Amino acid sequence: MANARDKNYEFVRREDAPILPPPATEAGITGWLWQNIFVSMADYTSIGAGIRSLLMAILSALILYFGGTQIYALIDFTIFSAVFSDPEGIKREACWTVDQGGVLPSGWHGACWPFVVAKQKFLLYGAYPAEDLWRVNLTGLVGLVGMVWVMIEQLPYRREVGAAMLSLYPLMAFILLTGGNSDAEFSNIGIWLVIGLAIISAGRLGKRGFLGPTFAEFATLIGFTGWVFLIFNAVRGVAAVDFGLEPIDTRDWGGLLITLVVAITGIVASLPLGIILALGRRSEMPVARLLSTIFIEFWRGIPLITVLFMASVMLPLFMPEGVNFDNLLRALIGVMLFSAAYMAEVIRGGLQAIDKGQYEGAQAMGLSYWQTMRLVILPQALTHVIPGIVNTFIGLFKDTTLVSIVGIFDLLGAAQSTIADPSWSSHVQALSVYVYVALLFFVFCFGMSRYSIYMENKLSKSRSH
């Protein structure tokens, strides 16, 4: 039978239809604009749809106008209208309008950057002596390099660098920032070091069975105690060495330095405590479980401000006479306990996500509880919750601003006290420094939240089969 094509019917097409470009509403810039903006306001087929489209158009226009003017106002305030320099050194008058006795046009509203520049050192370091700023900078630089090293996956020795960042770096930071040279006596430390060594060797001997079978059971624990003694006193010893650094009281610290010290110490110190609490809350021992739960819920139930109040008012009452913490240490203890409770909940989430088979597998291998946790469960659980830990850190980083309420000059506290400086007083003084501080916080927090999202994606990729 003949093909329809051969029969030469008029209605049968003989050439391919031309390949048309995609419709303007589907591709290219117009397509994007159509699909992302105009499609929602182009339906006028019925009265209801028409009203909805119209409302959508009005709403979009309003939001565009509102958002646009806000963003323009911010850019105008920080750049276009801002005063950038004060060449004559006239301080506050550089940011005064004609009405106030300055030179700027009436109604002027812009940032007073010379003020922020003049206060820059105070905002970043507080009253830290200017000739010793290299110590802070060195600490910051080493910390930054170490952190970036640990985060970039192509670099070698990441594990070693990470270990050093958690062990040697805090000691170095402590000595550099405070000046070290604590008044502990070397002979005293020496005695404790010898005691520590003795305990370790006793543990070693006991393990080999020289001291009887009963003792051998406890040998590991005793050896561990010895190491704790040894390391604790070695740290005390190093902190007591006179490196020739000028001692600097924490009262002279301030600004971003305090913010970073409080946030980083809080998070690093709260990790081990949080792990112990999380394990305690999931423990089979009722007493441990109850105590951990009470501890966690107590700290999570009260605002950080009350914790800081408690640390600054009640902590001195709890300590024996003569023991006196400085202000910063009190706040640090408060922040640490507070964030440990939050950390414990994050880690508990990670522990709960571990498959039961992992516990059973470890038990079948004959691992003890602590071996199971250290070698099998915790490594998985902690990697699982890295995003959660970063989020806790972001929260803590923002919450450090609260220490300014108990009289510690963190970044925000320092900013607040620069506003009280009459030699720079102008109607944009407060706003200028707030914008600057907000920008600093935003950069830190936004950067960390991006990192946490990146980690989340990476982890979820590695977890999907």
- Measured distance CA(396)–CA(416) in Å, rounded: 20
User: Does position 233 bind another protein by CB under 8 A?
Assistant: no
- Taking the CB of residue 367, how many other CB atoms lie within 10 A of it? 16
User: Does position 441 bind another protein by CB under 8 A?
Assistant: yes
Answer for which of 25, 42, 56, 237 binds another protein (CB under 8 A) is: 56
User: Does position 353 bind another protein by CB under 8 A?
Assistant: no
Q: Which of residues 204-223 bind another protein (CB under 8 A)?
A: 213-214, 217
- Residue closer to another protein, measured from CB, 317 or 364: 317
Place of tokens 């812009």: 110
> What's phi and psi for 247, nearest 5 deg?
-70, 135
Answer for which of 190, 316, 379, 407 binds another protein (CB under 8 A) is: 316
Q: Which of these segments, 139-147, 231-239, 308-316, 357-365, binds another protein (CB under 8 A)?
A: 308-316
Instruction: Give the Å distances, CA to CA, from 194 to 190, 226, 230, 291, 425.
Output: 6, 10, 8, 36, 61
Answer for which of 373, 399, 408, 418 binds another protein (CB under 8 A) is: 399
- Taking the CB of residue 247, how many other CB atoms lie within 10 A of it? 10
User: Does position 305 bind another protein by CB under 8 A?
Assistant: yes
Answer for which of 245, 445, 455, 459 binds another protein (CB under 8 A) is: 445
CB 24 within 8 A of CB 31: yes
User: Does position 37 bind another protein by CB under 8 A?
Assistant: yes
User: What is the DSSP secondary structure assignment for residue 195, as one 8-state letter?
Assistant: H
How far is Cα of residue 101 from the mean position of the Cα atoms in its chain?
44
User: Does position 416 bind another protein by CB under 8 A?
Assistant: yes
* Beta carbon of residue 164, minimum distance to another protein (angstroms, whole number): 30
- Measured distance CA(410)–CA(125) in Å, rounded: 9
Angle, CA 68 vertex, CA 56 and CA 42 arms, to 5°: 20
Angle, CA 406 vertex, CA 246 and CA 239 arms, to 5°: 30
Q: Which of these segments, 135-143, 224-232, 271-279, 312-320, binds another protein (CB under 8 A)?
A: 312-320
User: Does position 34 bind another protein by CB under 8 A?
Assistant: no
Angle, CA 174 vertex, CA 135 and CA 277 arms, to 5°: 140
Question: Can you give the binding site for another protein, defined by CB under 8 A?
Answer: 35-37, 39-40, 56, 59-60, 63-64, 66-67, 213-214, 217, 284-288, 291, 297-298, 300-306, 309-310, 313-314, 316-321, 394, 398-399, 401-402, 404-405, 412, 416, 419, 427, 430-431, 434, 437-438, 441-442, 445-446, 449
